[in-house]
């Protein structure tokens, strides 16, 4: 696609340049084959080779050794470059996607918590539980529409924090630490509102996540439906997953990483 920039210029995809090279060389070869006077075979073979190089560069730039570069001497991104790597189509869009009502933060130790609790930063909880807060505000007649509810939440009215405290009661959240190598890598916890920006975790549940407190990050997911909340509480609650399904030994306890 062409994206207009300031000054009357346009930003284009690298693929446009690579496709243009293929089209130009194909048209040139077609003209040579269509002329009335026969073209020497040496020139025809040379044009066929150049067309093949343009097609190769379109699929995998640099495969033949010589890299096709743009106007600013930067190598052009070919089709294969858009598929491979961390920013490629597979890893960026297909193997992982952004999820609504989820968050991510560094974990810190929370020995004051129960085994089934996690400390959730207030600002993060306010964002994650927005739809439930909107519902409570509307049920109590404090707002007449979603727009007003959003405004009150953004202003962080005192009533909003009271409603948030009420909403998180009996509403488990899921904590996940990558890589999730077994089912205990993602468990449910009862959230407790804490100050700061870090998620707090009881030290005795770290072994199942293979987590420690040297900068590890964990993801938070909010189950929305009643069925999902019930399933999280019955099957995934940390207190219900004390024994490892692999060997029957306890997965709760201190280990050398703490």
Whole-structure pTM value = 0.67
Contact assessment for residue 234 and residue 172, using Cβ atoms and an 8 Å cutoff:
no
Task: Write out the two tokens for 248.
Answer: 């029957």
Q: What is the pLDDT of residue 98?
A: 85
Please compute the mean of the pLDDT values over residues 155-168 and round it to a whole number.
91
Please compute the mean of the pLDDT values over residues 124-151 and round it to a whole number.
91
Q: What is the pLDDT of residue 97?
A: 81
Torsion of CA 188, 193, 194, 195, to 10 degrees: 130
Asked if residue 256 has pLDDT above 50, the reply is: no
pLDDT-derived band at 257, boundaries 50, 70, 90: low
Residue 90 CB coordination number (10 Å):
13
Rg (CA), the chain: 29
Asked if residue 31 has pLDDT above 70, the reply is: yes
Contact assessment for residue 115 and residue 202, using Cβ atoms and an 8 Å cutoff:
yes
Residue 204 CB coordination number (10 Å):
19
Q: What is the pLDDT of residue 252?
A: 75
Indicate the helix (H) or strand (E) that contains 151: helix 146-155
Please compute the mean of the pLDDT values over residues 189-218 and round it to a whole number.
91
Work out the percent of the chain whose per-residue pLDDT is above 90: 47
Contact assessment for residue 111 and residue 206, using Cβ atoms and an 8 Å cutoff:
no
Q: What is the pLDDT of residue 1?
A: 65
pLDDT tens-digit profile of 35-44?
877 888 899 9
pLDDT tens-digit profile of 91-117?
888 887 888 999 999 999 999 999 999
The rounded mean pLDDT for the chain is 88
Q: What is the pLDDT of residue 254?
A: 66
- Domains of the chain, start order: 2-94 (no CATH), 102-129+168-240 (2.40.40.20)
Asked if residue 9 has pLDDT above 80, the reply is: no
Please compute the mean of the pLDDT values over residues 165-194 and round it to a whole number.
92
CA 38, 39, 45, 51 dihedral sign is negative
């Amino acid at each position: 696609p062409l994206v207009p920039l300031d000054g009357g210029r346009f930003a284009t995809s690298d693929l446009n340049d690579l496709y243009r090279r293929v089209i130009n060389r194909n048209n040139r070869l077609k003209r040579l084959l269509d002329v009335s006077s026969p073209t020497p075979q040496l020139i025809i073979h040379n044009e066929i080779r150049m067309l093949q190089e343009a097609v190769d560069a379109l699929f995998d730039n640099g495969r033949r050794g010589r890299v096709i570069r743009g106007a600013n001497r930067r190598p052009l991104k070919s089709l294969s470059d858009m598929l491979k790597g961390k920013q490629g189509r597979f890893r960026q869009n297909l193997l992982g996607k952004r999820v609504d009502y989820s968050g991510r933060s560094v974990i810190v130790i929370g020995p004051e918590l129960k085994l089934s609790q996690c400390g959730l930063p207030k600002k993060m909880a306010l964002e994650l539980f927005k739809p439930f807060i909107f519902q409570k505000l509307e049920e109590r007649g404090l707002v007449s529409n979603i727009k007003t509810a959003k405004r009150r939440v953004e202003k962080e009215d005192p009533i909003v924090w009271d409603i948030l405290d009420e909403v998180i009661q009996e509403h488990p959240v899921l904590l996940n630490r990558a890589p999730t190598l077994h089912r205990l890598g993602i468990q449910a916890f009862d959230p407790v509102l804490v100050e700061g920006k870090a998620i707090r975790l009881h030290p005795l549940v770290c072994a199942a996540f293979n987590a420690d407190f040297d900068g590890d990050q964990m993801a938070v997911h909010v189950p929305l439906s009643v069925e999902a909340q019930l399933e999280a509480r019955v099957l995934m609650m940390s207190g219900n997953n004390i024994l490892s399904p692999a060997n029957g030994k306890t997965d709760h306890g201190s280990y050398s990483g703490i």
